[in-house]
Amino acid sequence: MPVPTMLKAALPSIPVVNQLPGIRKRPGSDPSTLGARVREAAPLDRHHAAAYALVCGFDPRDTVPLPYPHVLAFPLHMQLMTDPGFPFAPVGTLHLENSITSHRPLYPGEPLGIEVRASATRPHAKGTVVDFLAEAQVDGEPVWESTSTYLRLGRGDDRATGGMTFEHTPTATVEWRLAGDIGRRYAAVSGDHNPIHLYPLTAKAFGFPRQIAHGMWSLARCVAALENRLPDQVTVEVAFKKPVPLPGTVGFGHERIADGQAFALTRPKDGAPHLVGRAVGA
């Protein structure tokens, strides 16, 4: 998020300011009525995709990394979240789950257009959730889609689902040491400059002992580790469980399942999951 977007995202969380017209949120409003936000078709930038690949651990290829279109869709997410008709303040809204389906590889130079819509809110065991539905097209052909699920903590509904479920968490077989600047490096290529990911001081302002990794960086890093095992048509689903502190160490493990790969990032000291996911043929 560039600075003006960050300020716009933060204003609904500031007392008094958050009651001003154009800033005040209406918790009961329906985000599905806000319509779509659109990125007009434009050639995929080879250099930007390469910078993203480097930060996320992908090997150089002729194609762009599978999760890469998310960073092109993210500004559209923020346009919806900062709309006065969106029911929640962006600050404090948690990225809970993500699902990405790639219908075919994408190549630098292809004209990719993206449309993002928000769903209606629905109850969750820990509050309220809303989905952001993105679809990317090349010359009218759907090539990539994603569902990003965000949670607003609050009064939960015991009858509501808790979200994605996974049979088990694969045991880590390798450890990754993560540098303290990963959040800043990922922010530079993704545009997501949420302060919880940048510096210890900015993260502490939001209740974290130090900065934490972006969930979508964690997803991308796992996909990079599995890339050679995945088909061209694939769906990747993840649930974000515990924040990944930076700097720090995480364990990565994966296992073959009937239709693909199960994988996880875990805390080395006790195996508690940071992220649990699966990649299956679409």
Cα(282)–Cα(275) distance, rounded to whole angstroms? 21
Cα(113)–Cα(130) distance, rounded to whole angstroms? 23
Q: pLDDT truncated to tens, each residue of the chain (282 aa)?
A: 554 565 555 545 555 345 444 555 577 789 999 999 999 999 999 999 999 999 999 999 999 999 999 999 999 999 999 998 999 988 788 999 999 999 999 999 999 999 999 999 998 888 899 999 999 999 999 999 999 999 988 887 777 776 788 888 999 999 999 999 999 999 999 999 999 999 999 999 888 999 999 999 999 999 999 999 999 999 999 999 999 999 999 999 999 998 899 999 999 999 999 999 999 997
Cα(81)–Cα(84) distance, rounded to whole angstroms? 8
pLDDT of residue 9: 58
pLDDT of residue 95: 94
Domain ranges within the chain, ordered by starting residue? 3-281
Cα(69)–Cα(156) distance, rounded to whole angstroms? 32
Give the residue from 2, 1, 22 showing the smallest Cα distance to 11: 22
Single-letter code of the amino acid located at 222: C
Q: How many CB atoms lie within 10 A of CB 59?
A: 10
**Superfamily for domain range 3-281:** Hotdog Thioesterase (3.10.129.10)
pTM: 0.91
Radius of gyration for the chain, computed over Cα atoms and rounded to the nearest angstrom? 18
Cα(29)–Cα(25) distance, rounded to whole angstroms? 8
